[in-house]
Amino acid sequence: MAMSVRLDGEESCFTYLMRIAYDGTRYHGWQYQEGVVTIEGILRETFERTFGHKISLCAASRTDTGVHAYDQVASFVTPLSLEPSRLQEIWNRTLPIDIVIRSMTMNDQLIHPRYDVKQKIYWYHIFTQRPLPFIASYGWYCGSSLNFEVMRLCLDSVVGTHDFRSFCTGDTYKSTVRTIDAINIQWLARFAAYRIAVRGRRFMHFMIRRIVGAAVMVSSRRPCNAQIFYNVFQQCDPRHHLVTAPASGLLLRKIYYT
């Protein structure tokens, strides 16, 4: 049954901004699609069921099937007159355990979740030992044979402004030039995992996963040769033999607007 909430008249509307975390394992990505379960679809469905009217969501990132998020940002417009914290509390009660609204505010500055982004941070996790079942869905088990010095060389080469045609999919982009501000690799001893942190404003479909997959494949060969990665990158052709990293290892960690 829909909740009965006071409306401030047909002409009154309020814009909210929320930050959402989710485990993407069982979802076909963020974006709503007919016939499949998506994060946006669940949010829209639970809102309508709870508050009695439909909303549209505008999100910062359309994460792919199986990709996780700690800091997805989305906005919506509604005539409901509720304090953001109260709206967040009620809505969270209706959501499945693998989706949670972490915060909600009035979008008084009319921030556009996608176009006003200053920087995004994605994490990719690589396990060097077989992970415990509790964390296995949040990384890529690659074994201990990777040469991480070669991997660093590969990843360092994509920092800056380049044509990333080799590491995207599809032909729908007017330009495949993007800027990666930084890539850092951190060893997480408690998980026997490496964390690759990628910073930039805009990324293309599969771009981070294709970069990571290519670097892993090159650094696992014997003998290792970063030149293979460089050559693929410079050819600007996505039809290469290097792999795409699995979605499960990718997490949208943080989005900045200032």
Q: How far apart are CA 43 and CA 178, in angstroms?
A: 31
Q: Which domains does the chain have, with CATH numbers?
A: 14-106 (3.30.70.580), 119-256 (3.30.70.660)
Query: DSSP secondary-structure letter at 252?
Result: E
Nearest one of 71, 70, 72 to 62, comparing CA atoms? 72
Tens digit of pLDDT for each residue in 226-250?
999 999 999 999 999 999 999 999 9
Which residues are known to be catalytic? 64
Tens digit of pLDDT for each residue in 14-68?
999 999 999 999 999 999 999 999 999 999 999 999 999 999 999 999 999 999 9
Would you state the pLDDT for residue 86? 96
Q: How far apart are CA 236 and CA 120, in angstroms?
A: 24
Q: Exposure pattern of 92-114 as b/e (b: 16+ CB <10 Å)?
A: eebbeeebebeebeebeeebebb
- Cα–Cα distance list, 64 to 32, 78, 239, 252 (Å): 11, 27, 20, 11
Tens digit of pLDDT for each residue in 177-229?
999 999 999 999 998 899 999 999 999 999 999 999 999 999 998 888 999 99
Would you state the pLDDT for residue 52? 93
Tokens coding 177 = 């030039």
Tokens coding 187 = 């060893």
Tokens coding 109 = 């500055």
Phi, psi of 60 (to 5 degrees): -70, -35
Tens digit of pLDDT for each residue in 154-166?
999 999 999 999 9
Would you state the pLDDT for residue 62? 94
